[in-house]
C-alpha cells in the first residue's frame, strides 16, 4: 500500500515517541513492517535525521572543533598535570555537544584545577566564537589583581581565532593546548563532561523538551555542581563550600 511522505514521517515520529526515544531506525523499520509499511532502512534513517529523532542515552561521537592548523597553536604546558595549589592558576576548557529531538546545544565551561569549580560557562545553539569568548570574558572578571592563569584547551579553531587570542594577550594569560586528537591531554575536562552527561543527560527522555527548557535544566545543573554536588576529594564538600571553608569565597 503506497504512503505519502508526510504520512510516513508522522508515523515514524509517533512510533519513536511511543517507545520513549529508545528505538533507532532499524527497530523503527521493523515496527513499520509489522504494520505493512515496507520502506528501506535508508529512508527511515533519513526521515529520523530530518525530524531530529535521536535515540536517548546513545553516546555520540565527541564534538570536535578541530579545523586544521591554519592559525597558530600553543605548546602543551600543562602536560597532564591537573593539580593546582591555589585557585586561578590552571584553567581547563573545551566544548561539548548535546543532541536532543528539539536540536543541538553546546556547552563551553572553564574549570579550575584547584577544586573543580566551574569558573564560568556559556550555553548556545551555535558553537561559534561568541560561545567561547563570552565565557572567557566572564571568567576574566573573576580574577584578582595579579592572577594570570594558564588556560588549557584542545586544538579547536575557537582557541585560535582573533577574539580569543586578543583576550588572552590583553590579560596576559598563557595558552596551553593538547596534542591533536589526544583526549588524555585534557582528561580532567573530559571527566567533567562524562559526569555531567551521566548525571543529567543520558538515560532520560528529552522528547517534547524545548531548547530553552533544556538550556535551563543544563544551567541549573551547573549551578548545582558548583554549590551542592559534593566531592570526596574535597572532604565531602562542594567546590564552593570548599572555598568558603578556606576563606576563599564569601
Q: Which of 121, 150, 123 is nearest to 136 (CA)?
A: 121
Taking the domain 90-245, which CATH number applies?
3.30.420.10
Query: Which residue has cell 591555589?
Result: 86
Burial class (CB in 10 A: 0-12, 13-18, 19+), 2: exposed
108-128 residue pLDDT tens: 999 999 999 999 999 999 999
- 159 or 212, which is more confident? 212
pLDDT band at residue 1 using 50, 70 and 90 as cut-offs? very low
176 φψ region: left (φ > 0), alpha (ψ -120 to 50), beta (else): beta
Q: Which of 162, 160, 171 is nearest to 88 (CA)?
A: 171
Q: Considering the entire predicted model, what is its pTM?
A: 0.71
Contacts of 215 (CB under 8 A, 6+ apart): 105, 123
pLDDT band at residue 20 using 50, 70 and 90 as cut-offs? low
187-239 residue pLDDT tens: 888 899 999 998 999 989 999 999 999 999 999 999 999 998 988 899 889 99
* Dihedral sign, Cα of residue 37, residue 39, residue 41, residue 46: negative
As a whole number of angstroms, the distance between CA 91 and CA 143 comes to 12
Question: pLDDT at position 167, please?
Answer: 94
Is residue 117 within 8 A of residue 89, CB to CB? The reply is no
Question: pLDDT at position 121, please?
Answer: 98
The DSSP string of the chain is ----HHHHHHHHHHHHHHTTT---HHHHHHHHHHTT----HHHHHHHHHHTT---TTPPPPPP-----SSS------STT----SSTTSEEEE--EEEEETTEEEEEEEEEETTT--EEEEEEESS-SHHHHHHHHHHHHHTPPTT---EEEE-S-GGGTSHHHHHHHHHHTPEEEEPPTT-GGGGHHHHHHHHHHHHHHTTTS--TT--HHHHHHHHHHHHHHHHHT--BGGGTSB-HHHHHHHTTS--
Query: Which residue has cell 580532567?
Result: 188
The grid coordinates listed for 110 are 572553564
Amino acid at each position: 500500500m503506497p504512503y505519502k511522505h508526510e504520512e510516513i514521517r508522522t508515523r515514524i515520529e509517533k512510533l519513536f515517541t511511543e517507545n520513549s526515544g529508545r528505538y533507532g531506525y532499524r527497530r523503527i523499520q521493523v515496527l513499520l513492517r509489522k504494520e505493512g509499511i515496507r520502506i528501506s532502512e535508508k529512508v527511515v534513517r533519513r526521515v529520523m535525521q530530518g525530524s531530529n529523532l535521536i535515540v536517548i542515552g546513545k553516546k555520540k561521537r565527541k564534538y570536535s572543533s578541530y579545523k586544521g592548523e591554519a592559525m597558530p597553536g600553543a605548546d602543551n604546558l600543562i602536560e597532564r598535570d591537573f593539580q593546582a595549589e591555589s585557585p586561578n592558576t590552571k584553567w581547563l576548557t573545551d566544548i561539548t555537544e548535546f543532541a536532543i529531538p528539539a536540536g543541538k546545544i553546546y556547552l563551553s565551561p572553564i574549570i579550575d584545577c584547584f577544586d573543580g569549580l566551574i569558573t564560568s560557562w556559556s550555553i548556545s545553539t551555535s558553537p561559534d566564537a561568541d560561545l567561547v569568548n563570552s565565557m572567557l570574558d566572564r571568567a576574566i572578571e573573576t580574577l584578582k589583581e595579579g592572577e594570570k592563569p594558564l588556560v588549557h584547551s584542545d586544538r579547536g579553531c575557537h582557541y585560535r581565532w582573533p577574539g580569543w587570542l586578543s583576550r588572552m594577550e590583553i590579560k596576559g594569560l598563557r595558552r596551553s593546548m593538547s596534542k591533536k586528537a589526544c583526549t588524555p591531554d585534557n582528561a580532567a575536562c573530559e571527566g567533567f563532561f562524562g559526569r555531567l552527561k551521566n548525571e543529567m543527560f543520558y538515560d532520560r527522555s528529552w522528547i517534547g523538551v524545548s531548547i530553552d527548557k533544556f538550556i535551563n535544566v543544563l544551567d541549573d545543573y551547573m549551578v548545582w555542581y558548583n554549590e551542592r554536588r559534593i566531592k570526596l576529594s574535597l572532604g565531602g564538600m562542594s567546590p564552593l563550600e570548599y572555598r568558603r571553608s578556606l576563606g576563599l569565597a564569601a
